[in-house]
Amino acid sequence: MPNLEVNYLGLKLKNPVIVSSSGLTGTADKIRSLEQSGAAAVVLKSLFEEQINYDAGSLILDHDYPEAEDYIKNYTKNHSVDNYLSLIEQAKNSVSIPVIASINCISASDWVGFARRIEEAGADALELNVFFLPVNKYSSSTDYENVYIDIASRVTRIIGIPVAVKLGNNFTNVLGIIDRLYAHGVKGAVLFNRFYEPDIDIENMKLTSAGVFSSPSDLRHVLRWVALVHDKIGSIDISASTGIHSWEAVVKQLLAGAKTIQVCSLLYKNGIKEVAGLVGGLEEWMKRKGFGGIEEFRGKMSYRKIPDPSAWERSQFMKYFSNIH
C-alpha cells in the first residue's frame, strides 16, 4: 500500500489533499465531514478585513452620532474576530487533522495582533490571503509588493506557528516576490488565489460578479509556476490551488513539485465525496507506477528535472499555430 503522507509547513498530513478556504470550511460540522471524506487538512473560511470594514461603515451610516464611530468600528471588528477564534477552537475540538486559519487582509494594522490571537486559539498554521487592486498609477510595482512583505514579516516575527501566503498570479515577478517572502520567514506559498471579478449585466446595466468557480483549464497556469518555484526557490513549500478537478490534476501538480494541493470548486460542484476520489485516484496511480511514497516522484517533472527546461518557459504557440494561415 503506497504511503501518501506529506509534510507541509512542518505539519504531517495523511495525504496531500487540503480543502481550501471557503464556505465549505466555515463550521465545525462541515470540517468534520471533510475529514471523514479524506481531507488531510482544512483552511478555514477567511476572516475578511474588507468585509469587516464595510460592515462597520454601514452601521456608522445608520447613526447620527459621530462619537459612536470608534465604538462601532471596534465592536464590529472584535465581534468578527471573536467569532473566528471560536470557529478555530470548535474545529480543533472536532477533528484530528490540521486546521489552518486564514486572514484575508489588505493592510498590516490590527491584523498582526489578530494573528497572535489566532495562534492562541489553537490554529496549526496561518494562511495570509493578501490582495488589493493596484489602482494608483503613481505607485510602482515595488510599492505594492512591499505591502505584502510588510504584512508577512510582521506576522512571522510575532507568532510561532508556520505562515503561508496565498498569492495572485498577476505579479510582474512571481519568483521575486516568493523569494522575498521566504527570506522574511514565510514557510509556504499557495499558488494561486482566485479573486472577485466584475461583470456587466447588459440588459439591466448593472455591475455583477463573474463566475467564481475554477475550471480544469485553470490548472495549466498554476502548473508552470509550481514547476518553476519548486526548483528556483526550493526551500519553500508549495500548495497548488485553482484548477484541481481530478485526481490526474493532483498527480500533475505533485510531479511539478507541489507539496500539497487545495481543492474547492470541485467540491461545490460535485460534493465533498470528491475528496475520496482525489485521494483514491492518486493512490491507484502510485500503485500502478510502483511508487511507495510521494517523495519518490514529487518534482520529477519540475523545471530542472526535464530534458528541456525551456519548455516550462515557452510562451508562444510556435509548434502548433505557426503554420496556420
Number of C-beta neighbours around residue 290 at 10 A: 9
58 pLDDT above the threshold of 50:
no
49 pLDDT above the threshold of 90:
no
How far is CA 166 from each of CA 157, 172, 241, rounded to the nearest angstrom?
18, 16, 9
Beta bridge partners of 209: 198
pLDDT tier, 306 (very low <50, low <70, confident <90, very high otherwise):
confident
pLDDT tier, 317 (very low <50, low <70, confident <90, very high otherwise):
low
CA dihedral 100, 104, 110, 113 (to 10 degrees): 10
Taking the chain, what is the end-to-end CA distance rounded to the nearest angstrom?
52
pLDDT of residue 70: 41
Out of 2-16, 102-116, 126-140, which region has the weakest mean confidence (pLDDT)?
102-116
Out of 30-44, 60-74, 106-120, 281-295, which region has the weakest mean confidence (pLDDT)?
60-74
pLDDT tier, 9 (very low <50, low <70, confident <90, very high otherwise):
very high
Domains of the chain: 6-321 (3.20.20.70)
Is 143 in a helix, a strand, or coil?
A: helix
pLDDT of residue 218: 86
pLDDT of residue 236: 97
What mean pLDDT do residues 287-316 have? 86
What mean pLDDT do residues 2-12 have? 98
* pLDDT digits 0-9 by tens, 238-278: 999 999 999 999 999 999 999 999 999 999 999 999 999 99
Number of C-beta neighbours around residue 278 at 10 A: 27
Strands (E) located in the chain: 6-8, 11-13, 17-19, 41-43, 47-48, 99-105, 125-130, 163-167, 188-191, 198-201, 206-209, 237-241, 260-263
Contact 88, 64 (CB under 8 A): no
Residue 311, C-alpha cell as written in the block: 519548455
For 204-230, letters b (16+ CB in 10 Å) and e give eeeeeeeeeebeeebbeebbbbbbbbb
Cis upstream peptide for 192 (omega within 30°): yes
Rounded CA-CA distance 68/65 in Å is 6
Out of 80-94, 173-187, 260-274, 276-290, which region has the weakest mean confidence (pLDDT)?
80-94
Contact 233, 257 (CB under 8 A): no
Report which of residues 286 and 48 the model is more confident about. 286
Report which of residues 313 and 108 the model is more confident about. 313
pLDDT tier, 312 (very low <50, low <70, confident <90, very high otherwise):
confident
Rounded CA-CA distance 115/123 in Å is 10
